[in-house]
Amino acid sequence: MALPKQVQIVEVGPRDGLQNEPLNLPDSVKIEFINRLSASGLTHIESGSFVSPEWVPQMTNSTEVFKGITRNPATVYSALTPNLTGLHAAIDAGVDQVAVFTAASERFSEKNINCSIAESIRRFEPVLQIALDQGLKVRGYISCALGCPYQGHVPPKSVAKIASQLYQMGCYEISLGDTIGTGTPQKAIELINAVSEQVPVQRLAAHFHDTYGQALVNLYAVLTMGVRTIDSSVAGLGGCPYAPGAAGNVASEDVLYLLNGLGIETGISLDKLIETGDFICHQLQRPSGSKVALSGYRKPKRSDLVMPGRAQLDK
């Protein structure tokens, strides 16, 4: 299959990126972070989560953050909601869209959301009902789609079964999480082959963490199969507190560089994204995880693109 002409990047930095950081950032910094992301041209920003503060203290100020951001009408601001408590809080905070999240591994599900996969699906039913009634679209995440930190191998068929359930329940998109970044292109292809038998491939998103440095090549593999939504995090921030050893998400800057190189449209400014990555890394006092940002990338000037003439070479 040919590569898509357009790709949607879902920026998960303010949620996945910040949920695993030791520093708990104040509302004002998160708000500026999200405003800068939307100014770079991103049209979907996962801006927080409404989860238990005991489980993920870094997300405790999601309400204040949602209330403080300057809304860009072109941007969707979404949040994770694991249950009805989370959904009601998210609605009160004014989210545009919510996401439910489960796993393809029982042990990960217990560790992350304190219930079995089947129980998580039962909990999502009223969440979806109320959200859809209120006109909010719901995304569905499946963690450990390419491997689990507790169970190891995860059969693609078990991911496909859960994807089918979430899709039938009304999730408009299923985001497949390589939570611990152990996937390889062949495994990613097998996953998309299995899941796309249940859910149209255009309704799948790739959410790949980069622990083993395979995320970009895995993304390329799934792009050739018709996937056209990619989750990524500026500066490669990210990780799940309940996935020990997992590195950050694939960096948004690196994904954008790849897409630009393939001539795929996103409408996002790489320069602004890199500046936003610098901003948040400075706030977190940590280096960027983006190879493109670390390379000292700058837009080539016109003169750089012109081959030197003979006279110049002879000088």
- Catalytic positions: 240
Task: Find the binding residues for ligand HMG in span 262-281 (CB under 6 A).
Answer: none
Query: Residue 260 and residue 253: Cα distance in Å, rounded?
Result: 10
Q: Are 224 and 260 in contact (CB under 8 A)?
A: no
Handedness of CA 176, 186, 208, 225 (dihedral sign): negative
Nearer to ligand HMG (CB atom), residue 20 or residue 274: 20
- Residue whose Cβ sits closest to ligand HMG: 177
- Binder of residue 52, out of Mg ion, ligand HMG, none (CB less than 5 to 8 A by kind): ligand HMG
Query: Residue 110 and residue 143: Cα distance in Å, rounded?
Result: 12
Query: Is residue 51 close enough to count as binding ligand HMG by CB under 6 A?
Result: yes
Task: Find the binding residues for Mg ion in span 3-42 (CB under 5 A).
Answer: 16
- Binder of residue 141, out of ligand HMG, Mg ion, none (CB less than 5 to 8 A by kind): ligand HMG
Nearer to ligand HMG (CB atom), residue 75 or residue 120: 120
Query: Is residue 113 close enough to count as binding ligand HMG by CB under 6 A?
Result: yes
- Binder of residue 19, out of Mg ion, ligand HMG, none (CB less than 5 to 8 A by kind): ligand HMG
Q: Are 41 and 266 in contact (CB under 8 A)?
A: yes
Per-residue interface string for the shown chain with ligand HMG, residues 188-207, x marking contact by CB under 6 A: -------------------x
Residue 314 Cβ, how far from ligand HMG at the closest point, in Å? 56
Residue 269 Cβ, how far from ligand HMG at the closest point, in Å? 25
279: buried, middle or exposed (CB in 10 Å: 19+, 13-18, 0-12)?
A: middle
Residue 110 Cβ, how far from ligand HMG at the closest point, in Å? 9
Tokens representing 78?
A: 């979404």
Nearest Cα to Cα of residue 49 among 104, 112, 106, 108:
112
* Neighbouring-strand partners of residue 98: 79, 138
Q: Are 62 and 49 in contact (CB under 8 A)?
A: yes
β-strands 137-143, 44-49 pairing: unpaired
Residue 239 Cβ, how far from ligand HMG at the closest point, in Å? 8
Q: Are 243 and 21 in contact (CB under 8 A)?
A: no
Query: Is residue 295 close enough to count as binding ligand HMG by CB under 6 A?
Result: no
Query: Is residue 16 close enough to count as binding ligand HMG by CB under 6 A?
Result: yes
- Binder of residue 62, out of Mg ion, ligand HMG, none (CB less than 5 to 8 A by kind): none
CB-based contacts of 310, cutoff 8 Å, min separation 6: none
Nearer to Mg ion (CB atom), residue 4 or residue 177: 177
Binding residues for Mg ion, rule: CB under 5 A, are 16
